[in-house]
Structure 1
Amino acid sequence: MQRRLPLLINTEAIEVWPADLLRARGTADARLLARAQWILRRKLDGRYLAAVLPLGVHAMVPRLAREPGVEEALALLDAPLARPFGAPLEEQWLPLAGLQQRLQQLGLDPQRYAEDSGLPLEPEPCLLHFAGRDRFGRPLWLRRVAAQGWQRMRRHAAQDGIALDAISGFRSHAYQLGIFDRKRARGLGVTEILKVNAAPGFSEHHSGHALDIGTPGDAPAEETFEATAAFAWLQAHAGEHGFQLSYPRGNPHGIVYEPWHWCWKPANG
């Protein structure tokens, strides 16, 4: 029987990870992860909240029941129709409730930003597929079609003597908000940040279809990637695997040139 690839179950507040893809953060974590099937992980800060063991749920934080979203996440594991290999989750997206308030706290009007940038609001998928590991050894999560396209494209490139690696894939709204918070803490203004980062909720990375691509020996997410054989190969062949360069020079969205950022798009999209 063909082994099924690991999946990530995504909820508004919590991600449910396959335990064997997470790193232990201490001796106690290591013992739990070795026995657990799933780990509930808080999206805001990556904190491990609970381990789902064959005989039940083991809390990894005090007052687990008070954690927002725990019941919802556990219900997805318990509901037969929502088990990781069923179709329902595959076609579902998270609601966008709450994101608008966060954007307003940044001084951004979502509707005006969408009109000005031409970028659509991107909901997060409820289910993501393991697409290998990125350059830094982290699990790479994408939607099924993008994961399959990336793996085919990487094999094709290797056959042509070109090494491609992933820099990053899916990012949650919370992750993108964190980027803005860290840059603002360094003294950057929102307008300045928007020149290089899409507003939270508007990044293609939220969709699970986009990834940043690099090649060994070249700095990640730098314009120098344009001068590599890997970039030349992508220009010639990425379209065969469903990927397009999202932000070329002079793009209408006002995003700086990103030769590393590619997104899977349907043939009629």
Structure 2
Amino acid sequence: MRNAPHLLINTPDIEIWPGGLLRARSNHDARLLAQASHVLRRKSDGRYLAVQLPRGLMPLIQRLPEEPGIEQALSALDTQLSQPARIPPAQGELPLHQLQQRLDQLGLDSDDYAADTGLWLVAEPAHLALAGFDRYRRALWLTRPAARGWQRMRDAAAIDGIAMDAISGYRSHDYQLGIFERKRARGLSVAEILTVNAAPGFSEHHGGNALDIGAPGEPPAEESFEHTDAFAWLQTHASAYGFHMSYPRDNPYGIVYEPWHWCWIGGGY
């Protein structure tokens, strides 16, 4: 039985996606993904590991039993398959014990970084809800209350004649590390990257409550967003839907001004 296509099951090393949301990378992948109720995806590089088909689990890599975290992922998948109609509780977070290993790759200590910036560690949720799709037609994952808040806020803005879209939502610790690795490959130092991106483990995006918002036709994640009608609308109305702008000018965290970054903190309609 196919699971409801709105739930991402999250484990420390592997994400379990509902079928129909991931892009095929070959004709072979396309055929399998079209039949799959679930896809197991490695978080560190996005590699597809296995698909759950009507006839059973089909590995997409050799030595799947040796894949780090596979037992925990298969256990989570078995739970979902045995209770497909059950909606998991909203609470539930993944452990942080693997985080320092990621920070070691950047030469950062979590305690020192937290003390220097005032930022705090953010655990990843064990489950995330589909909140629609972002500007690039990628699945937008948020916690269930943040997803509801975003959908209501976007719809209310549309009624007022204001168009806005999501640029990105939930990001794993591994994804954040990948951002740093790609920027370092372009010649930026870790210190330079930290003025724009929080260290892995410290981004609000990890918790599934933050999203970057844009206006159609405007470049993503640029300070110029503050001059759009969408930003003016958010300043007036976002708090009514539980969202606030996390990094205003001269914020105490050392993060550049981000008028596009909004986080659901609760309350509102």
Please give the alpha-carbon distance, in whole angstroms, between the structure 2 residues aligned to 1:190 and 1:240. 37
Compute the TM-score of the two structures, normalised by the length of structure 1. 0.94
- Structure 1 position 83, deviation (Å): 4.8
Q: Is the CA contact (8 Å cut-off) linking 2:5 and 2:19 kept in structure 1? A: no
Q: Is the CA contact (8 Å cut-off) linking 2:135 and 2:167 kept in structure 1? A: yes
- Which residue does 2:12 correspond to in 1? 12
Q: Is the CA contact (8 Å cut-off) linking 1:5 and 1:129 kept in structure 2? A: no
Please give the alpha-carbon distance, in whole angstroms, between the structure 1 residues aligned to 2:74 and 2:101. 27
The answer as to 2:120 corresponding to 1:120 is yes
SS in 1 for 2:247: coil
- Structure 1 position 102, deviation (Å): 2.0
Amino acid across the alignment from 2:193: I
- Which residue does 1:57 correspond to in 2? 57
Deviations, residues 166-223 of structure 1 (Å, cap 9, x unaligned): 0000000000000111111122111111101101000000000000000101100001
Q: Is the CA contact (8 Å cut-off) linking 1:9 and 1:84 kept in structure 2? A: no
Summarize the alignment of residues 21-40 of structure 1 with structure 2, pairs less than 5 Å apart: 21-40=21-40
Compute the TM-score of the two structures, normalised by the length of structure 2. 0.94
Please give the alpha-carbon distance, in whole angstroms, between the structure 2 residues aligned to 1:161 and 1:206. 31
Please give the alpha-carbon distance, in whole angstroms, between the structure 2 residues aligned to 1:107 and 1:40. 31
The answer as to 2:176 corresponding to 1:170 is no
Deviations, residues 64-100 of structure 1 (Å, cap 9, x unaligned): 1111112211111212699566465532111001211
Q: Is the CA contact (8 Å cut-off) linking 1:76 and 1:82 kept in structure 2? A: no
Deviations, residues 113-164 of structure 1 (Å, cap 9, x unaligned): 1111111100000100000000000000000000000000000000000001
Amino acid across the alignment from 1:237: H
- Structure 1 position 22, deviation (Å): 1.1
Give unpaired runs (5+ residues) of structure 1.
none
Q: Is the CA contact (8 Å cut-off) linking 1:39 and 1:49 kept in structure 2? A: yes
Q: Is the CA contact (8 Å cut-off) linking 1:89 and 1:126 kept in structure 2? A: no
Give unpaired runs (5+ residues) of structure 2.
none
- Structure 1 position 59, deviation (Å): 0.8
Q: Is the CA contact (8 Å cut-off) linking 1:77 and 1:83 kept in structure 2? A: no
Please give the alpha-carbon distance, in whole angstroms, between the structure 1 residues aligned to 2:207 and 2:81. 23
- Which residue does 1:134 correspond to in 2? 134
Q: Is the CA contact (8 Å cut-off) linking 2:240 and 2:267 kept in structure 1? A: no
Tell me the C-alpha RMSD between the 2 structures. 1.8
Amino acid across the alignment from 2:238: A
The runs of at least 4 consecutive aligned structure 1 residues that moved more than 2 Å come to 79-90
Amino acid across the alignment from 1:262: W
